A and B are shown apart, each in its own frame.
Chain A
């Protein structure tokens, strides 16, 4: 059997395969080293980094829902300086390709984090989190409109030469329009979808199940929504689209590639199966080999409609 070429170009970067771990579900990457060689992934997107360490939301932070889960973590993280000092050298030692997801309360803060990270030679790309539903400032405030996303993307673009990915929220009316705004402002790729805002309540105690009341829905429950949005965006923009949302298996990942995604991110599946990402890499290779398809590029975007 031929060995298929799994490599994918993502805005100036070539990844060895299209499987990327999603921010917020993979820690800082090193946590998965006991389970497999993390350099086998196309890339790792680390947990959202802010300028200063962030304490996050009070508990309860998560609740399980039908075929999914809601989270309201609130971007608890160690801050960009500690990431650069403590984590980067260890990611380098592990040979990992890593991307920093960044977050700020203001556009200024996004700029400062981006600028700081631009000085890190081994950093592969920056992913702008313009879509976290669980923080009051920043996040969604920028991601909700085309003007907001264009403004933020443009400002970060001026501060970095690293490939720039913009992670989009599904909690909008016209996601393709917002993706186009990111493209117009200089994004090298868009990644979507972030979580869908939802809530869960207890009918007996009459209380919300999350301290934050609302949270972000993820897991297989959101896959059809994600797939539709990725398909729409792929038809609208020229830059690569990274598909995210409920991917648990190689078949799920292939579905996103089929509708036009250049790569995928795997998130919540990492919680249930710490080896999910690497199993998806192997599963994609096996499928392409069995089907005698030479490369991911030959399969991508071949949906017959």
Chain B
């Protein structure tokens, strides 16, 4: 049985493939299979030397394997030196990982209808949720946003094509799917939903901060639940550096909570935007 205990492992890259020079998908072998909740992540490094010094947080995309032989996959976009170096690594190279980390999406309650919203590379966090919902035949729709067609996730990475979910692809420039921002598509779709159905809605979102803020306010306006997966600079990823905090409302006061430990998934109503 794969276990969900946090661990630090050195695995080896099995494949590391780019798609259109934008998104990469990396798979590594690890000593034991890992079970994770969608939304959880890993701290990943492996490039030689001390620069950059820190590992990079990547959403856990998929895991598999059998006893004594696990695999784990991540999807990433090259945004800086760390991910650029990662994209240059080859099969056989070692990959150091601390995983699984953080608190993932709450997918457990019965009677909900799920909408998954992924902006940019944020799809790498919501696809595992779609896969989990698809496996248990839960009702969901997925909204994917990108600036332009080439930046939408590759179709073959989309989980469960046969699943009952509906996928709304959106591009800012109208080159594919809905012409406009993903939040506009969500707003329009939300307007078609009855108050009763909106109350059963759980919106799960990952993407740029501005998108998440808008999703939070859209959900609040219709009394829907929203769970947002936040990103931040992190040094450790497991709660000891206190570098990744975000301001969260707790009763009538605010407190700094760690994105890596109390998050990355937060109830959107708690976040001080």
Contact = CB atoms under 8 A, between A and B. Distances in A.
Given A272-B45, A275-B8, A31 B53 contact: no
Contacts of A25: 236, 240-241
Given A27-B239, A59-B246, A274-B98, A64 B7 contact: no
B50 A248 contact: yes
A62 B241 contact: yes
B220 interface: no
A66 interface: yes
Interface string A13-30: 000000000001111000
Contact of A268 (B6, B235, B247): B235
Contact of A220 (B8, B53, B55): B53
B143 interface: no
Contacts of B5: 34
A275 B243 CA distance: 20
Nearest to B8: A274
B85 interface: no
Interface string B137-169: 000000000000000000000000000000000
Interface string A24-67: 11110001101100000000000100000001101111111011
Interface in B216-239: 232-236, 238-239
Contacts of B255: 55
A133 to B, nearest CB: 15
A83 to B, nearest CB: 15
B233 A220 contact: no
B241 A73 contact: yes
Contacts of A26: 240
B270 to A, nearest CB: 15
Nearest to A73: B242
B243 A64 contact: no
Q: Describe B's contact surface by its main secondary structure.
A: loop
Given A31-B240, A71-B241, A273-B8, A60 B233 contact: yes
Interface residues of A, number: 35
Nearest to B259: A59
Contacts of A35: 6-8
B59 interface: no
Contacts of A64: 52-54, 233
Nearest to A28: B240
A69 B54 contact: yes
Nearest to B51: A67
Contacts of B240: 25-27, 31-32, 47, 270-271
A245 interface: no
Contacts of A148: none
Contacts of B232: 59-60
B273 interface: no
Interface in B58-87: none
B245 interface: yes
Nearest to B55: A272
A272 B53 contact: yes
Contacts of A76: 242, 245, 256
Contact of A58 (B52, B54, B55, B247): B247
Nearest to A276: B8
A162 B217 CA distance: 54
B204 interface: no
B245 A56 contact: yes
A184 interface: no
A11 interface: no
Nearest to A77: B242
A66 B82 CA distance: 12
B222 to A, nearest CB: 29
A68 interface: yes
A47 B256 CA distance: 16
A273 B247 contact: no
Interface string A245-278: 0001000000000000000000010111111000
Nearest to B80: A64
A143 interface: no
Contacts of A275: 8
A47 B241 CA distance: 9
B8 A59 contact: no
Interface string B1-22: 0000111100000000000000
A163 interface: no
Contacts of A58: 247, 256
A138 interface: no
30 contacts: A24-B241, A25-B236, A25-B240, A27-B240, A31-B238, A31-B240, A34-B5, A35-B7, A58-B247, A60-B233, A61-B243, A61-B244, A62-B243, A62-B244, A63-B233, A64-B52, A64-B54, A67-B50, A67-B53, A73-B243, A219-B50, A219-B53, A220-B53, A271-B54, A271-B55, A271-B240, A273-B8, A273-B96, A274-B238, A275-B8
Interface of A: 24-27, 31-32, 34-35, 47, 55-56, 58-64, 66-69, 71, 73, 76, 219-220, 248, 268, 270-275
Given A68-B53, A271-B54, A275-B8, 10 more contacts: A24-B241, A34-B7, A35-B8, A59-B246, A61-B242, A61-B243, A71-B241, A73-B241, A76-B242, A270-B240
